Amino acid sequence: MVDNSLHRGVEDIAVTETELSDIDGENGSLIIRGIPIKVLANNATFEECCYLLFNDRLPTETQLATFQKRLSEHRQLPDRVSTLLSRAAAEAVHPMDAVRMGVAALDLDGKPPAEQAVRLVAVLPTIVAAYWRYRAGEAPVEPRTELRHAENYLYMHTGTEPEPAVVDALEAYLIAVIDHGLNASTFVARSIVSTESDLVSAITGAVGALKGPRHGGAPGPVLETLRTVATTGSPTASVESVLESGNRLMGFGHRVYRTRDPRAAVLASVAERLDTHTDGSTLFETASSFEAVAREKLAAHHPDRRLETNVEFYTAVVLDGIDIPPALFTPTFAVSRVVGWTTHCLEELEDPKLVRPTARYTGKRDRGWTPRSDR
Ligand code: ACO
């Protein structure tokens, strides 16, 4: 019997079970394998969080060392992916399109899904960094196996080892966005493997979903706004002009949270620490005054729906503060979220159930056929 009630955007509908992460939208909490996101961001390394998601337990020293080694040995790009990225750079394609192409060109056929997952997590940062080097007319910087994941990602952009404070900030960011329930891109990935397709196809689809401004594409526009406000000094005028023109304030609102996104709190602290470290040279102060005005104005503008700060708002401040170019904000999100995508795929593959919702048909019926000559 088909339930014909309509759930646009699959809102508030549970379509699968997961042991990976859970969001409490009313109380503003997020747990990864049972551990609050703030605890992980303040204590764990990115590799520890990967291990936790993949294995459902925190690693011992030995397990962590083995896992780090395994991950770091899968960082190299195949030649055909390098060639493709250099051609894409010559045509200046959107960085997320380059990531999509790079992922799609990986050949992991025949490898067990868990191995495909590790390879995808390990190589995605190399795809992003190599593409950006090609775009700048420079040769990619080879990954180094002795550097940690976050450190190596930054190193591959410049060829110099980053400062520890910068690595810590990136690592906290990567942990904060590592997994987040059944968001749009994760749903896409799970839907693809529900057909028993492979992980490369699933992650290619997920990258496409993440690109959109209603998902992972918001921090670039957030940064533009904050830069303008830093010059004009007027968050109120900026917020009012967006809302009065009927547009959305980027970095605010969420499908699930009715409170401030807990990841925004984590990233606001990271941004504040970075600001102190750089003697106030980041956009942190501008962002906090903008946020206060935005929350107040959104509450007045939408009294029936609480629109609070989401993860993308302070993402812009943190990534800008560590000199990631705005064009790479969403690809850097993918560098982390590929862990959530792949672990969700592995979970789905344990007991795949073909994703196949229905659509309520609102088109015409009972039409006859008109021969082409009579139309
Ligand atoms: N600014 C102003 N109004 C907003 C905003 C916003 N940021 N977000 C939602 N609204 C309004 C909508 O206009 C709508 O108003 P209406 O009922 O008067 O038409 C109402 O709130 C509900 O909006 P929906 O789009 O139905 O809510 P949904 O849950 O689908 O949207 C979303 C969530 C897409 C994140 C939305 O809040 C948005 O567009 N935010 C701005 C973009 C953004 O920050 N994206 C990053 C999201 S976080 C992530 O994916 C990692």
368 burial via Cβ count (<10 Å: 0-12, 13-18, 19+): exposed
What CA–CA distances, in Å, run from 191 to 8, 182, 201? 17, 11, 11
pLDDT of 93-130, one tens digit each? 999 999 999 999 999 989 999 999 999 999 999 999 99
C-alpha triplet 99, 332, 22: angle, nearest 5°: 110
Residue 19, CA atoms < 13 Å, CB-side half-sphere: 10
Q: Which residues pair with residue 36 across a beta bridge? A: 31
Determine the Cα–Cα distance for residues 28 and 258; give it in Å rounded to an integer. 7
Q: Which residue stretches of the chain are H helix? A: 37-43, 46-55, 61-72, 79-90, 95-104, 113-135, 149-158, 164-176, 184-194, 199-210, 219-232, 235-244, 262-277, 284-301, 311-321, 329-350
Per-residue pLDDT band at 53 (split at 50, 70, 90): very high
Q: Is 215 in the pocket of ligand 1 (CB under 6 A)?
A: yes
Integer Cα distance of 184 and 186 in angstroms? 6
- Ligand 1, atom 37, lies closest to the CA of 253
Q: Which of 327, 332, 326 is nearest to 89 (CA)?
A: 327
Amino acid of residue 50:
C
Q: Which of 171, 312, 347, 348 is catalytic?
A: 312
The dihedrals phi and psi of 309, each to the nearest 5 degrees, come to: -65, 130
In the residue annotation, 312 being an active-site residue is answered as yes
pTM for the whole structure: 0.95
- SS3 string, 71-102, reads HHCCCCCCHHHHHHHHHHHHCCCCHHHHHHHH
Does the beta carbon of 148 lie inside 6 Å of ligand 1?
no
Residues 237-270 have pLDDT tens digits of 999 999 999 999 999 999 999 999 999 999 999 9
Which pLDDT band holds residue 356 (cuts at 50, 70, 90)? Answer: very high
Q: Is 161 left (phi over 0), alpha (psi -120 to 50) or beta?
A: beta
Average pLDDT over residues 202-207: 98
Whether ligand 1 lies within 6 angstroms of the CB of 337 is answered as no
In the set 171, 254, 308, 348, the catalytic residue is 254
Confirm or reject: Cβ of 302 under 6 Å from ligand 1.
yes
Assess whether 180 carries a catalytic annotation: no
Question: Among residues 46, 268, 278, 274, which one has the least CA distance to residue 152?
Answer: 46
Provide the pLDDT confidence category of residue 146 given band limits of 50, 70 and 90.
very high
pLDDT the model gives residue 63: 98
- The residue nearest atom 32 of ligand 1, judged by CA position, is 254
Question: 58-98: per-residue pLDDT in tens?
Answer: 999 999 999 999 999 999 999 999 999 999 999 999 999 99
In 3D space, the residue among 339, 350, 286, 338 whose CA is nearest the CA of residue 314 turns out to be 286
Are the CB atoms for 140 and 129 separated by under 8 Å?
Answer: yes
Q: How far is the CA of 260 from the centre of ligand 1 (A)?
A: 14
Of the candidates 216, 320, 317, 314, the one whose C-alpha atom is nearest the C-alpha of residue 265 is 314
DSSP state of 161: P
CA distance 241 to 135: 35
What is the whole-number distance in angstroms between the Cα of residue 94 and the centre of ligand 1? 24
Amino acid (1-letter code) at residue 232: T
pLDDT tops 90 at residue 2: no
> Which atom, in ligand 1's list, is nearest to the CA of 261?
48
| Residues paired with 22 in a beta bridge | 31
Q: Please determine, for residue 1, whether its predicted confidence score (pLDDT) is greater than 80.
A: no
Q: Whose CA is nearest to atom 18 of ligand 1?
A: 302
